[in-house]
Amino acid sequence: MPESLYKNAVSQLKEVAKLLKLSKKEVDYLSKPERFHKNTLRVKMDNGAIRQFKAFRSQHNSARGPYKGGIRFHPQVSQDEVMALSMWMSWKTAVVGIPYGGGKGGVVVDPGELSVGELERLSRTYAGWAGKFIGPWTDVPAPDVNTDSQVMAWMVDEIEKTQTSKTQKLQVNPRATFTGKPLEIGGSQGREEATGLGGFYTLEKLTHHSSLVTRNSTIAVQGIGNVGYWFAKFVSDGGYKVVAISDSKGGVYNPKGIDLEKVMEHKKKTGSVLGLYHELTNQELITLNVDVLVPAALENVITGENAKDVKAKVIIELANGPVAPKADEILLRRKILSVPDVLANAGGVTVSYFEWVQNLSGYYWEKQEVFEKLKIIMDRAFAEMWHVHLDKPRLSLRMCAYINAVSKVVSVMRVLGRI
Ligand code: GLU
């Protein structure tokens, strides 16, 4: 039985609630999503058969603005997972101080098994259903695991077809319902790089403030999808040494450094990073002798079992929920600094916010402007977390970030009289 992500999320919330002395009513309210939608989508396969897919959208909290968060397509998607991820989105948008709440969606599917046509019909069916409760001022989805700008484009098209009259009346650009769109239909410059770049800005801040990382630090990146790739690229260009990377099939390690473009080229040809350099498993990568470990794929990879064997001094959480609470305790005891997901990977949702702002104002920015604005927001969020860390050095960085985030959400809820 995999660890329950939702239980993890609630236990983190309870920990911060104690520090902030929140009332039971407040904790109860924040423990659950405000709304949870589920459905069974019926989609026509290429062979004419109808296949059913379980679909979810969790709307955790809207005190600070519209629900915000991705939609993932993965066989392991569940109600439990989507609920946890939506709560983490509420904290993430608060950590970076952008005017959103938290949401998350998902479909139980292995998209690798679908043809492009089937994937398109599934995406459109999801949007057709979710159209009732998403929109620029209610809930703004984006890509997540296994979904990309093309999936967003199909969803936008579906929404535009069905919602034009309603949104026209409101004079709101219906394309602002989704972020992470292709540039041609209102996507933002820099959205693709954003999560990796935000992670790089975070690492730079840590290098500046902590003696645990320097420009000569070695780095292992687990997961070389969009997020892991861009992070690895920015840090390599920035002078750090990436010595190991992996994908779902396994990883490669070279203590002298990995030639990223060569590995990506190889992966394009063969379907995996394996074959170049010394090979290792994803499990071995977690406990590799490096300075910085960067889980950039899925959740719960650093657990109560393997946390004692982690050799890195610093962890940058680019995936959502890669460090389980039991691992958090062990890492804290071992003085390993783990920069929490709600800060480290918040570059993505921050540039999603820029995209939404551009869609609503009709004024589009250059990439350089996007990168500069992202840096300002990431640096400020880091500084706020670090400020708490200096004051309370015994707490994990996650709790430091949560103290800021949860108090921002609660203070808005109090002022609105919602609790
Ligand atoms: N899926 C990304 C995340 O977990 C991005 C969410 C968004 O842009 O709304 O942060």
| pLDDT of the chain, 419 residues: tens digit per residue | 467 999 999 999 999 999 999 999 999 999 999 999 999 999 999 999 999 999 999 999 999 999 999 999 999 999 999 999 999 999 999 999 999 999 999 999 999 999 999 999 999 999 999 999 999 999 999 999 999 999 999 999 999 988 666 555 557 899 999 999 999 999 999 999 999 999 999 999 999 999 999 999 999 999 999 999 999 999 999 999 999 999 999 999 999 999 999 999 999 999 999 999 999 999 999 999 999 999 999 899 999 999 999 999 999 999 999 999 999 999 999 999 999 999 999 999 999 999 999 999 999 999 999 999 999 999 999 999 999 999 999 999 999 999 999 999 999 999 999 88
Atom of ligand 1 nearest to the CA of 345: 10
The one-character DSSP state at 135 is: B
Q: How many of the other CB atoms lie within 10 Å of CB of 333?
A: 10
Ligand 1 centroid vs 47 CA: distance in angstroms? 34
Distance CA 336, CA 179 (A): 35
Active-site annotation holder among 14, 104, 249, 256: 104
The residue whose CA is least distant from atom 9 of ligand 1 is: 69
Residues listed for the chain = 419
Q: Which residues line ligand 1 (CB under 6 A)?
A: 68-70, 142, 144, 179-180, 320, 345, 348-349, 352
Largest Cα separation within the chain, whole Å, is 62
What domains are defined for the chain?
33-174 (3.40.50.10860), 194-344 (3.40.50.720)
Binding-site residue numbers are 68, 92, 195, 226, 352
- The residue whose two tokens read 């920035």 is 238
- Is the pTM value of this prediction over 0.85? yes
Going through 317-375 in order, the beta strands assigned E by DSSP cover 337-339
- Backbone dihedral region of 52: left (phi > 0), alpha (psi from -120 to 50 degrees) or beta? beta
Nearest to 303, CA basis, from 5, 88, 83: 5
* The predicted structure's pLDDT at residue 166: 56
Q: 3-state DSSP call for residue 292?
A: strand
E strand or H helix at 294, and its extent?
A: strand 292-295
Could you tell me if 231 and 318 are in contact, meaning their C-beta atoms sit under 8 angstroms apart?
A: yes
